[in-house]
Amino acid sequence: MRLSRAGEYAVRCMLYLSMAGKGVLVRRKTVAREMDIPEQFLGKIAQQLARAGLMEIVQGAKGGFRLMVFPEELTLLAVVEAVIGEIFLNDCVLRPESCHRSPDCKVHQVWTEARDRFRESLQKATFASLMDCR
């Protein structure tokens, strides 16, 4: 019940891009080195972040990554879920039909509410507020 390494790397990557600023091109190699992320692996993760519209990938010489949203609009939740998928905590929260008890299971309700609160807490955290991480 923990964030995957890929998820953590995604956050660090977006943190670096946020510090550079929206639209500013940063080389993949730089992000990898500065944020301690295996460069090739970062490439994979970046694809997911780009597909989610959070960054843009520029190919070719002088290529790299470019933040596509304002840090003020970018949340920890968006970044994490772009990589690990929507957080649901327990199978039955995502697919109630996976357990015949779900219609009136109190545990199911607890998980559902816990998920909501949890996602809210990650949504409240914007990169604008996170990036002055020194």
Using an 8 Å Cβ cutoff, are 22 and 68 in contact? yes
Neighbours of 36 (CB within 10 A): 8
> Considering only residues 93-122, where is the footprint of DNA by CB under 7 A?
none
Q: Residue 42 or residue 69: which is nearer to DNA going by CB?
A: 42
CB of 63 to its own copies, least distance (A): 27
Determine if 89 is a binding residue for ligand SF4 (CB under 6 A).
no
Interface with DNA (CB under 7 A), residue total 26
Burial of 13 (0-12, 13-18, 19+ CB in 10 A): buried
The single residue among 40, 59, 97, 106 that binds its own copies, judged by CB under 8 A, is 106
